[in-house]
Amino acid sequence: MAIQIQQAITVGKYLVSQRLMGRKHFPLVLMLEPLFRCNLACSGCGKIQHPTEILKQNLTPEQCFAAVEECGAPVVSIPGGEPLLHPQIDEIVRGLVKRRKFVYLCTNGILLEKSLSKFEPSPYLTFSVHLDGLREQHDKCVDRDGVFDKAIAAIKAAKQKGFRVTTNTTVFEGADPREMQEFFDFLETLNLDGMMISPGYSYEWAPDQENFLKREQTKALFRQILSPWKSGHKNWNFNHNPLFLEFLMGDQDFDCTPWGSPSYSVLGWQKPCYLLNEGHFSSYQELIENTQWSNYGKKSGNPKCTDCMVHCGYEPTAATAALQPENMGKAIGALFGG
φ/ψ (deg, to 5) at 185: -60, -40
Look up the pTM and report it. Answer: 0.93
Which residue in 74, 87, 138, 77 sits closest to 107, CA to CA? 77
φ/ψ (deg, to 5) at 329: -60, -40
pLDDT confidence tier of residue 1, bands split at 50, 70 and 90: very low
- pLDDT computed for residue 206 by the predictor: 47
The CA-based angle 98-96-328, given to 5 degrees, is 95
Spacing of C-alpha 265 from chain mean position = 16
Is 268 in contact with 281 (CB distance < 8 Å)? yes
Is 200 in contact with 213 (CB distance < 8 Å)? yes
Domains of the chain, first to last = 5-335 (3.20.20.70)
> pLDDT averaged over the chain?
91
Report for 199-203, 210-214, 233-237: range of highest mean pLDDT: 233-237
Task: Spell out the alpha helix ranges (H) of the chain.
Answer: 5-20, 52-55, 61-71, 89-98, 112-115, 135-142, 147-160, 177-188, 215-225, 227-231, 242-248, 284-290, 311-321, 328-335
**Tens-digit pLDDT profile for residues 152-207:** 999 999 999 999 999 999 998 889 999 999 999 999 999 999 999 999 865 454 44
- pLDDT computed for residue 295 by the predictor: 96
**Tens-digit pLDDT profile for residues 72-115:** 999 999 998 999 999 999 999 999 999 999 999 999 999 999 99
Which residue in 230, 251, 130 sits closest to 177, CA to CA? 230
Least confident window among 36-50, 211-225, 237-251, 257-271 = 36-50
Q: How many CA atoms lie within 13 A of 164 on its CB side?
A: 20
* 216 CB neighbour count, 10 Å cutoff: 10
- The b/e string for 247-266 (b: 16+ C-beta within 10 A; e otherwise) is bbbeebebebbbbbbbbbbb
Instruction: Check pLDDT > 60 for residue 28.
Output: yes
Is 310 in contact with 202 (CB distance < 8 Å)? no
- pLDDT computed for residue 326 by the predictor: 80
Which residue in 264, 304, 272, 280 sits closest to 36, CA to CA? 264
| Three-state secondary structure call for residue 138 | helix
- How far apart CA 55 and CA 57 sit, in angstroms, is 6
- pLDDT computed for residue 72 by the predictor: 97
Is 291 in contact with 224 (CB distance < 8 Å)? no
Instruction: Check pLDDT > 60 for residue 264.
Output: yes
φ/ψ (deg, to 5) at 125: -120, 130
Mean pLDDT of 120-138: 97
- The b/e string for 9-44 (b: 16+ C-beta within 10 A; e otherwise) is ebbbebbeebeeeeeeebbbbbbbbbbbbbebebeb
Mean pLDDT of 270-293: 94
Return the CA Rg of the chain.
19
